[in-house]
């Protein structure tokens, strides 16, 4: 392991962190230890994050033979089922190795593009269940039964990129347009990747945005979760089209000079066993923390066990998959506060000690450090935004300093502030001091993405700022030949709120 200075750079830059030097060094030591284990196993972090070339379905370049592998250490029996064998649970058993990985090799003509597949797992509890392979790159839902299944995706003609060489480092100040492909169109239906690429992207470019952040890309069984209950982490949602259509979208964006970020969900996973990873081998945990710590109290979902090597390999490989296979230019990591603390953000952060106590999940800190390091090694200059409500010191400082390594932090407190202000205060009660403090309250040297509203308010149980300001009056008094003090006030305040937030709230918008 590398020798580090006795005083971390994070402490050198901020003397208030001096009482927590030991904890910061402990984090560095844990990161170094995990990196050492990774190098011993795979030779490098980059190679370690190519697990998708080992797990799941892969073809031998010379013979064309298929190999399917699945990690299920406590399972009693595993077999591959699908269209290719009439869904026979006995005909194609897998063999287990000493690491708890099950494997089967099939001849070149055994599987074909478009065939549906699942894996039948007899778990540690003796129960047999048909599951979707964890590393599947495409999952589809039957329109009549609503059952999800994996799908072999090996098109004869792979997508050919034409906008090569896009460099995300050219985006010095991200101006981010957050979007949901399915809701991106005008009609009351689920829209597609190609519709978004052809009809929405040109409008985004014309408005001056240089970055698009896409929600709900990773496959999820419940559309109403807005993509935050992920089931198949390597599969782009089939609701919006085929994987090649998503590549087309990203290619089109690059042609317009726009970077594309994936709203990646590594903070938790859907608890559904029929579609997701929960209780995959019948042991009750596996990918997730055992017991109550593995159950999220607010989201009705499962919390990852970042201390297991196989989980690290799964999540880090997922990061590299989206960067390489689909050429995303970075990520917004959802729910980072929930990842960092065992209390999932339910305890106050009244002093610096709250960021360095026993409630911090050090394995999660190490995972985020590894992910941030991997992102820059695979795609230098990529954007990595952390959605953190807690204000963890060093979140956007280099790992070598004792930080976590993100490029930006999403300033979630700002939209919360504006909604609270509009709901609880009259205009004449607004405090300029409170406003200035909220908009500028960030750690020096840690860039923030700031905007006055968020999908957390607009989509989940609240209203947009425009509706808060004007509400039903927008339906009846927005014509140019009509007069309304409510509309006049609302339009004026909306413009001023946006202006002051973008001007003072951070180094990205």
Alpha-carbon distances of 327 from 119, 137, 246, 322, rounded to whole Å? 29, 15, 10, 7
Tell me which residue of 197, 194, 187, 190 sits closest to 216, measured CA to CA: 190
Tokens representing residue 10 in the block: 């994070």
Tell me which residue of 396, 345, 360, 352 sits closest to 26, measured CA to CA: 360
Tokens representing residue 506 in the block: 């951070």
Tell me which residue of 249, 243, 228, 255 sits closest to 181, measured CA to CA: 249
Cα(30)–Cα(24) distance, integer angstroms: 10
Q: Is the separation of the CB atoms in 250 and 214 below 8 Å?
A: no
Residues belonging to the active site = 334, 387
User: Cβ neighbours of residue 136 under 8 Å, at least 6 residues apart?
Assistant: 56, 57, 117, 150, 151, 232, 234, 235
Cα(477)–Cα(188) distance, integer angstroms: 24
> Within a 10 A sphere around the Cβ of 440, how many other Cβ atoms?
12
Phi (first) and psi of residue 62, to 5 degrees: -90, -50
Phi (first) and psi of residue 141, to 5 degrees: -110, 130
Strand partners, 288: 304
């Amino acid at each position: 392991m590398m020798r580090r200075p006795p005083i971390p750079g994070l402490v050198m830059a901020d003397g208030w962190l001096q009482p927590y030097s030991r904890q910061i060094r402990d984090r560095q030591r844990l990161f170094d230890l995990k990196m050492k284990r990774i190098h011993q196993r795979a030779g490098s972090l980059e190679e370690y994050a190519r697990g998708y070339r080992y797990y799941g379905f892969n073809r031998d370049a010379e013979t064309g033979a298929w190999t399917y592998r699945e990690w299920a250490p406590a399972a009693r029996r595993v077999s591959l089922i699908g269209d290719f064998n009439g869904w026979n649970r006995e005909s194609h058993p897998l063999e287990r190795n000493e690491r708890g990985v099950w494997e089967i090799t099939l001849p070149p003509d055994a599987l074909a593009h478009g065939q549906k597949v699942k894996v039948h797992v007899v778990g540690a509890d003796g129960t047999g269940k048909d599951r979707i392979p964890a590393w599947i790159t495409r999952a589809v839902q039957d329109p009549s039964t609503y059952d999800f299944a994996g799908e072999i995706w090996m098109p004869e003609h792979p997508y050919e990129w034409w906008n090569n060489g896009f460099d995300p480092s050219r985006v010095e100040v991200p101006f981010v347009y957050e979007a949901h492909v399915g809701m991106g169109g005008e009609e009351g239906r689920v829209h597609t990747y190609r519709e978004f690429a052809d009809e929405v992207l040109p409008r985004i470019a014309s408005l001056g945005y240089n970055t698009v952040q896409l929600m709900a890309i990773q496959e999820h069984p419940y559309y109403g979760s807005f993509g935050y209950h992920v089931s198949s982490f390597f599969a782009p949602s089939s609701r919006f089209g085929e994987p090649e259509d998503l590549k087309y979208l990203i290619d089109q964006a690059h042609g317009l000079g726009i970077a594309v970020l994936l709203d990646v969900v590594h903070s938790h996973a859907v608890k559904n066993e029929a579609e997701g990873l929960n209780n995959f081998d019948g042991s009750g945990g596996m990918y997730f923390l055992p017991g109550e710590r593995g159950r999220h109290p607010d989201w009705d979902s499962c919390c990852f066990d970042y201390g297991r090597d196989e989980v690290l390999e799964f999540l880090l490989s997922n990061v590299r998959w989206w960067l390489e296979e689909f050429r995303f230019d970075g990520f917004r990591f959802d729910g980072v506060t929930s990842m960092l603390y065992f209390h999932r953000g339910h305890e106050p952060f009244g002093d610096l000690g709250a960021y360095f106590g026993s409630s911090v999940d050090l394995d999660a800190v190490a995972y985020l450090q590894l992910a941030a390091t991997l992102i820059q090694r695979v795609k230098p200059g990529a954007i990595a935004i952390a959605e953190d409500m807690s204000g963890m010191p060093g979140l956007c400082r280099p790992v070598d300093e004792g930080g976590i390594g993100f490029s930006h932090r999403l300033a979630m407190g700002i939209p919360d502030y504006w909604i609270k202000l509009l709901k609880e205060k009259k205009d004449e009660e607004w405090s300029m001091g409170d406003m200035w403090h909220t908009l500028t309250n960030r750690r020096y040297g840690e860039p923030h993405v700031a905007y006055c509203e968020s999908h957390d308010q607009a989509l989940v149980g609240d209203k947009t700022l425009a509706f808060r300001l004007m509400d039903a009056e927008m339906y009846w008094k927005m014509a140019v030949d009509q007069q309304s003090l409510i509309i006049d006030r609302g339009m004026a305040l909306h413009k001023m709120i946006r202006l002051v937030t973008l001007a003072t709230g951070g180094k990205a918008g």
